[in-house]
Amino acid sequence: QLQLQESGPGLVRPSETLSLTCTVSGGSISSVIYDWAWIRQPPGKGLEWIGTISYTGDTYYNPSLQSRVTISVDMSKNQFSLNLSSVTAADTAIYFCARQGTWTATVDWCFDYWGQGNLVTVSS
């Protein structure tokens, strides 16, 4: 059974960089069928897609965050990571990593496996 687990600090100071890692177990991150994504959810609010990376390193970012976001992949560790720079209180959210299908996947480009989420609070 595929599992995803986010890890990283729960508190980040304003203007600093938020860094999270997602470790994938029970399956390989090196897949042509699936990409890997970050999604966030501010407390009590809706879901916001942050960005997606393929195992080849191709990335797609939300235009609203693009200038501050970097997603990378480490196939040797079966992990992918999120860096979000210059954070403010508005970046306080639960950050989820997820597996995303592609056109050749059964689920198209939907998110079919999710991590449990990592609450990150931006505060001094």
Residues engaged in binding another protein (CB under 8 A) = 37, 46-49, 52, 60-63, 96, 100-101, 107-112, 114-117
Neighbouring CB atoms inside 10 A of 70's CB total 16
CB of 124 to another protein, least distance (A): 28
CB of 84 to another protein, least distance (A): 16
When the beta carbons of 14 and 57 are compared against another protein, the nearer one is: 57
CB of 68 to another protein, least distance (A): 15
Give the list of residues 6+ apart from residue 11 with CB closer than 8 angstroms, or none: 120, 121, 122, 123
When the beta carbons of 63 and 76 are compared against another protein, the nearer one is: 63
When the beta carbons of 49 and 55 are compared against another protein, the nearer one is: 49
Task: Indicate the pairing of strand 11-12 with strand 118-122.
Answer: parallel
CB of 10 to another protein, least distance (A): 17
Q: How far is CA 106 from CA 23, 30, 61, 123, in A?
A: 23, 17, 23, 41
Q: Is the dihedral angle over the CA atoms 64, 23, 98, 52 positive or is it negative?
A: positive
CA distance 40 to 48: 5
When the beta carbons of 16 and 21 are compared against another protein, the nearer one is: 21
